[in-house]
C-alpha cells in the first residue's frame, strides 16, 4: 500500500516498529518511494511511502491495520490485498 504522511525515515521506522508489535502482523517493510524501485524513483517532491505488511487474517483485519496507521498520522491508499 502507499502511505501519505511523514516521509521522515525515523518516523517510518517508528511506525514499522509499532506495526510489528500489533497482534497478527508477521512482517512489515516501509520505505519512502524515492528509496524503492517504483516508477517515481528519484522524482523530486515524492511525498508518499510504500508499505508491505504480512499479517494473519484470522487475528487482524486489514481495516484494523489501516485504522491504526490513521491514528499514527498516515493515510493508506492504493491498497493491494493479496489474500
How do residues 5-60 score in pLDDT, each as one tens digit?
Answer: 887 888 999 999 999 999 999 999 998 876 554 444 444 555 788 999 999 999 99
Q: Which residues pair with 51 in a beta bridge?
A: 30
- In the structure grid, which three cell numbers stand for residue 48, read together? 508518499
Query: Which of 72, 24, 80 has the alpha carbon at shortest distance from 52?
Result: 80
Return the HEC string of 39-62. Answer: CCCCCCCCCEEEEEEEECCCCCCH
Domains of the chain: 2-77 (3.30.70.100)
Q: How many residues does the chain have?
A: 83
pLDDT at 5: 86
Distance, CA of 76 to CA of 83 (rounded, Å): 18
- For 13, phi then psi, to 5°, come to -65, -35
Are 53 and 63 within 8 A, CB to CB?
no
pLDDT at 83: 67
Amino acid at each position: 500500500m502507499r502511505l501519505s504522511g511523514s516521509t521522515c525515515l525515523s518516523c517510518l521506522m517508528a511506525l514499522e516498529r509499532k506495526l510489528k508489535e500489533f497482534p497478527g502482523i508477521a512482517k512489515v517493510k516501509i520505505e519512502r518511494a524515492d528509496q524503492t524501485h517504483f516508477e517515481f524513483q528519484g522524482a523530486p517532491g515524492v511525498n508518499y511511502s510504500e508499505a508491505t505488511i504480512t499479517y494473519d487474517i484470522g487475528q487482524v483485519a486489514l481495516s484494523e491495520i489501516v485504522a491504526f496507521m490513521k491514528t499514527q498520522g498516515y493515510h493508506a491508499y492504493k491498497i493491494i490485498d493479496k489474500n
